[in-house]
Amino acid sequence: MTRTVSGIDHLLSQPEKYLQGKTVGLIVNHTSLANDGRHSIAHFHSHSAFRLRALFAPEHGLNGTAQDMVHIENEVDPLSGLIIKSLYGKSKDSLVPDPALLKDIDNLVFDIQDIGSRYYTFIYTMANCMTICKQTGTRMVVCDRPNPINGTSVEGNLVGENLRSFVGQYSLPNRHGMTVGELARLFNEHFGIHCDLTVVPMTGWSREMWYDQTGVIWTPPSPNMPTLATATVYPGMCLIEGTLLSEGRGTTLPFEQIGAPFINPHKLTARLEKDSPLLPGVYFRPQYFKPMFQKHAGEVCAGLQLHITDRDHFKPLLTTVALLRAIAEIYPDRLHWRTEPYEFVSNRLAIDLLYGNPKLRETLFEPDFSLEGLENSWRKELETFLPLRQEYLIY
């Protein structure tokens, strides 16, 4: 197996090729590891070519211990002694760094592992930092890392203009098939940030590769993203966050299982057999589980677990919509949408923010709802996105 070498390793070996000046700020978390296993902070702190002046951390914190939507306070990094400025605090304003913090910073380096789905907030932390770099004249340096669920598969619809949020800040499909470096180029040029951007590319990675083919050790990017299998289902199963069903948080299989106390799992799996011709690469197994926290904490939930049998043909978004439709048919009075504020938004439902428009919520219970029709509507939207995406691919 040829091992993928991430952008951070190339930056560290040739800093003069990518950096300007002498000072650096880092946007990092626990996934920010070079191929020698050392953290980016350790490398930058000891590097003779530049001075580390600032640290920023995204959602879940520097060490990736906080649960979703838990506000992170500023901390002190024990290695460098620098304050770790949280970019996921108590308000929407906290998502964007204070320009004053970049006053003496020549380069702001982003080195965080993404998972390839538009809901995951790390890519918008990157975009927000790019916006401030434009204001301050700081060079934004993005160290590229693999898209763990491959760089070829694209699925879903685009985010509507009035439903932009921190789980969909730009008009991307649910599964975009791009790396963070490619997304940075897209955000900068097409979406008009126009900062001084440098992308440090990887070597040894090709678009069809999954993370377990890179030779790089998997570091769970967040508390509920423990494995590559979780990342594989996430572009669809994250929609369950917009309901009162359990998406498996508080268990060892987040997003790989779904359930609620009122569901008959055998009835649900039998109903899904009708859709099996449209849902390749997945097997549904009746499942019981008890979440230890969040939705239905301490209650026995019944539902199913997704077992992926062919990840190259599996359709995570269509599969999740099929699950929701089956539950809507069997339990029309018990499938409810989440109504509390979600990702700093209180005037729109979480399901609409996640899906990108209200169409799923508005049509899911209708007698003439069609999985094929919905998937065809995605294809029409992708006809505009795919040529645009092609312009910004690196590999």
Rounded to 10 deg, the angle between the 316-330 and 371-391 helix axes is 160
pLDDT of residue 2: 79
| pLDDT digit string, tens, across residues 232-274 | 999 999 999 999 999 999 999 999 999 999 999 999 999 999 9
Flag whether pLDDT at 179 surpasses 80: yes
Question: Which two three-digit tokens encode residue 185?
Answer: 């180029």
Token look-up 């949280």 returns: 86
Three-state DSSP at 60 gives coil
Grade residue 1 by pLDDT with cuts at 50, 70 and 90: low
| pLDDT digit string, tens, across residues 52-79 | 999 999 999 999 999 999 999 999 999 9
Question: Which two three-digit tokens encode residue 224?
Answer: 């509920």
With 0-12 CB in 10 A as exposed, 13-18 as middle and 19+ as buried, what is 351? buried
For strands 23-28 and 107-111, give the pairing.
parallel
- Domains detected in the chain: 7-217 (3.40.50.12170), 228-364 (3.90.1150.140)
